[in-house]
Structure 1
Amino acid sequence: MPGSLEPLDVGVQIPYHFRCPISLELMCDPVTVSTGQTYDRASIEYWVGTGNTTCPVTRSSLTDFTLIPNHTLRRLIQDWCVANRSFGVERIPTPKQPADPASVRSLQTQVSSQSNPSHTRLSAVKRLRGLARDSDKNRSIIGSHNVQEVLLPVIFSDSECDSAELKHESLALLVMFPLSESECAFVASQPDRVAHLVSLLFHASIEVRVNSAALIEIVVAGTRSLDLRAQISNVDEIFEGITGILNYPLAYPRALKVGIKALFALCLAKQSRHKAVAAGAVTALIDRLADFEKCDVERALATVELLCRVPAGCAAFAAHALTVPLLVRKILKVSDRATEYAAGALLSLCSAAEQSQREAVSAGVVTQLLLLVQSDCTERAKRKAQLLLKLLRDSWPEDSVVNSDDFGCSDVVPF
């Protein structure tokens, strides 16, 4: 094995023993395996995770899969990075060590034991939450020990010994993990538990409010029973609470992400959509539409289309001056799904009111729809566009491009 220095593209040379034998890249978190060889943690974890049971360098069998941090080598690498910072080399950060399974089990035992003082249990929850925040690896370790079964009873405990802070910290940790169907039923089947979550939607702390909304969305999405979903959606003030989260200032963007996920999940219950409209969801959706990230824009537009199927919702969207222009603008701009939802919402609005038809034409929807039907988008989106074109034909200005011979040569399917 060569002991010389190997050149990098940036003109700086990395000592050979600083490179991971697997990736050949500078090691950021060197660990030593049972054969005595050192690798970067991410590389050796991937190697073992794909079913390999031998040491990549020696080809000897790994007697165990314990990874021991090589702190000495890591410090040498960090010193080398600092010495070569003039070449643009950044110092590797000191990695946080993965959670120890034994420690995780001990912490969960402390949380679940009601004989422990409240402050001890709270400290254990906070330590678990800190570990879960550190890395996906830690979350996987904690989740493998069924932390959900420990936290759910704490969150919905009636014991006066369990402080509000303990419950709120447990809630914040719980929403970092998926719930099984039985765990969702544990919450959804008891009206008192759902009512408790709804009450938290109005808590003074925005973090508590958002975590409550996150758990509501997880439970609704994970519950197969349509009746239970409908019961949750019908709980008093649930839509007011979710809408309030959507309207929270953008300084807390997680509120937008969680809020739209919860609103969409609740609006899947047809009989509850009028409650969302009454709670101000229409204004919140339109006012925030430009602020969502891509995946959340899709979910927001899907929610708009769902609410447009309710007469009150359709009227409320039509009354908002920005609704039609924003929907037209989203066609072909975000994704195929977003285009389909926007076209569907416009179809509902324009079917209900001639004013919406005129607004759509003024916003340039005809050109967008012609491009849409000739694109590679979904068949459902094309069908909605075709129906919308037919509906808008009487609203086209006489000099519109779609009244010219060009329209006769388009790919629009005859009705």
Structure 2
Amino acid sequence: MGIEDSSAAIPYADSAASRDSSPYSSASAVAHTLLLLQSDDPNLRVQAAKEIRRLTKTSQRYRRNFSAAVGPLVDMLCCDSADANEAGLAALLNLAVKDETNKIKIIDAGALKPIIGFLRSENLALQEHAAAALITLSASSVNKPIISASGAIPCLVDILGHGSSQAKYDAVMALYNLSTHPDNLTLILHTNPIPPLINLLKSCKKSSKTVEKCTALLESLVGFEEGRTVLTSESGGILAVVEILESGSLQSREYAVGILLTMCQSDRSKYREPILREGVIPGLLELTVQGTVKSQSKAQMLLRLLRDTPYPRSEIEPDTLENIVCNIISQIDGEDQTGKAKQMLAEMVQVSMEQSLRHLQQRALVCTPADLPINSCTSEVTLK
């Protein structure tokens, strides 16, 4: 399920291994815990929920065996006790991890209403558990439209601006999961998520997972004109994306260049100048050498769109990367500054050559016996 189930099951304080040494002891533990969960004593129910949380932390078998606990645990979410709420929610989260049947069963049992209530709670622990639960529950394609129709999206966007660091990360992840359902993107866009997403780009570590998912979500949202307009009008919005393009993780940089390329492709005359003003050229040049395969392709496409004309030149002035960049720099700083472009390209070429040399050396070392110099390696078919 990729990133959709990346919120690992919440560990219980007792980190001892699950008591499942034999099928008999496993069945006994499940039966005993389910019995406690039905008790009239609220303390015993909390104890049972914590035991379910512990046993299902790493065991897919226990997640299946405790499927019958879903209903009683959802009932605990409706109690007036914060302890019962937290214990029940944590147990449900662990039951849902990597279990499609339990994900759907939890929603069908009525968990969404109290979970959304917890998103609005001043109890930060409950808020964080609720956001984490929605990450896992929204990994199910069946649940995505149900969750979005329940009113969860505005609450998640509100957390982006006012939640704890952990809750913000979980909210971004949940929103990203929901955004993969086509009908949900417009619902997300109408809750005005771009300003808090930009603030997260500015405040979080550029290489963080939070930033990665923010840029992924933004790339989807700028597919709409409303999204592009909001990003451009937001103070420092384009600059924040450019900074991720320069300093983010490889995946974040790929999303960031995708954001700018989508904008420029949609209306080059409108977005070319705002993008150029934020000093995007050095980062794009670096991506043409050091980015992922998709980043390199997108960076080259964007460079072509950013020059004075996006169309190929005549044979007199070939459509090379150097000419494209020289043209862009001259439009910004004047003809006497085109040397900047050549210097940037020279640096990028040098980096590319060094990377290629290291790669060749590594390959040579793999195929060369330890007692022979690298330059003596011959091209021969190795017998297997």
Superposed CA offset, 1:105-143 (max 9, x none): 47623443x2442222123334665x57xxxxx933697
Per the alignment, do residues 233 and 161 of structure 1 end up closer, same or farther by CA in structure 2, a change over 3 Å counting? Answer: closer
What RMSD in Å do the two structures reach over aligned CA positions?
3.5
Per the alignment, do residues 191 and 286 of structure 1 end up closer, same or farther by CA in structure 2, a change over 3 Å counting? Answer: farther
Q: Are the aligned partners of 2:288 and 2:296 in contact in 1 as well (CA < 8 Å)? A: yes
Letter in structure 2 aligned against 1:345: I
Query: Is 2:145 the counterpart of 1:230?
Result: yes
Query: Is 2:194 the counterpart of 1:279?
Result: no
Distance 1:246 1:159 in 2: 24
Give the 5 Å matches for 1:371-386.
Answer: 371-375=286-290, 377-386=291-300
Q: Are the aligned partners of 1:318 and 1:324 in contact in 2 as well (CA < 8 Å)? A: yes
Q: Are the aligned partners of 1:305 and 1:344 in contact in 2 as well (CA < 8 Å)? A: yes
Letter in structure 2 aligned against 1:364: G
> What residue number does 2:99 align with?
180
Quote the offset at 1:180 in angstroms: 0.9
> What residue number does 1:390 align with?
304
Distance 1:262 1:329 in 2: 24
Q: Are the aligned partners of 1:274 and 1:312 in contact in 2 as well (CA < 8 Å)? A: no
Per the alignment, do residues 156 and 181 of structure 1 end up closer, same or farther by CA in structure 2, a change over 3 Å counting? Answer: same
Q: Are the aligned partners of 2:272 and 2:306 in contact in 1 as well (CA < 8 Å)? A: yes
Letter in structure 1 aligned against 2:104: A
From 197, 213, 217, give the equivalent of 2:115: 197
Instruction: Write 1 or 2 for the structure with the bigger share of helix.
Output: 2
Per the alignment, do residues 218 and 390 of structure 1 end up closer, same or farther by CA in structure 2, a change over 3 Å counting? Answer: same
Distance 2:258 2:339 in 1: 21
Query: Is 2:124 the counterpart of 1:124?
Result: no
Query: Is 2:195 the counterpart of 1:291?
Result: no
> What residue number does 1:327 align with?
241
Letter in structure 1 aligned against 2:46: L
Letter in structure 2 aligned against 1:378: T
> What residue number does 1:301 align with?
215
> What residue number does 1:68 align with?
none
Structure 2 unaligned blocks of 5 or more: 1-13, 309-327, 350-384
Quote the offset at 1:265 in angstroms: 0.7
Structure 1 unaligned blocks of 5 or more: 1-94, 133-137
Bigger Cα Rg: 1
Per the alignment, do residues 309 and 175 of structure 1 end up closer, same or farther by CA in structure 2, a change over 3 Å counting? Answer: same
Superposed CA offset, 1:212-270 (max 9, x none): 2222221221x244xx423322333x221101222235xx3211221111111111122
Distance 2:344 2:304 in 1: 12
Distance 1:402 1:301 in 2: 33
Distance 2:65 2:237 in 1: 44
What secondary structure, in the 3-state scheme, does the structure 2 residue paired with 1:139 have?
A: coil
Per the alignment, do residues 239 and 298 of structure 1 end up closer, same or farther by CA in structure 2, a change over 3 Å counting? Answer: same
Distance 1:247 1:337 in 2: 24
Query: Is 2:185 the counterpart of 1:260?
Result: no
What secondary structure, in the 3-state scheme, does the structure 1 residue paired with 2:57 have?
A: helix
Superposed CA offset, 1:269-295 (max 9, x none): 222222222223111111112325622
Give the 5 Å matches for 1:7-406.
Answer: 98=17, 100-101=19-20, 105=30, 108-112=33-37, 114-126=38-50, 139-140=57-58, 144=62, 146=64, 149-157=67-75, 165-176=83-94, 178-188=97-107, 190=108, 192-221=110-139, 223-225=140-142, 228-236=143-151, 238-248=152-162, 252-289=164-201, 290-291=203-204, 294-351=208-265, 352=267, 354=269, 356-375=271-290, 377-394=291-308, 396-397=331-332, 398-399=334-335, 401=338
Distance 1:139 1:157 in 2: 21
> What residue number does 1:21 align with?
none
Distance 2:76 2:15 in 1: 37
Moved more, 211-220 or 389-398: 389-398
TM-score normalized with structure 2 length: 0.67
Distance 2:341 2:100 in 1: 57
What secondary structure, in the 3-state scheme, does the structure 2 residue paired with 1:374 have?
A: helix
Letter in structure 2 aligned against 1:117: D
Count of residue pairs brought into register by the alignment: 302
Letter in structure 1 aligned against 2:101: S
Distance 1:313 1:348 in 2: 11
Q: Are the aligned partners of 1:210 and 1:245 in contact in 2 as well (CA < 8 Å)? A: no
Per the alignment, do residues 104 and 198 of structure 1 end up closer, same or farther by CA in structure 2, a change over 3 Å counting? Answer: same
Quote the offset at 1:381 in angstroms: 1.4
Distance 2:65 2:81 in 1: 19
Quote the offset at 1:326 in angstroms: 1.2
Q: Are the aligned partners of 2:179 and 2:188 in contact in 1 as well (CA < 8 Å)? A: yes
Q: Are the aligned partners of 2:77 and 2:114 in contact in 1 as well (CA < 8 Å)? A: no
Superposed CA offset, 1:363-407 (max 9, x none): 2211211221122x2222122112211221126423454896679
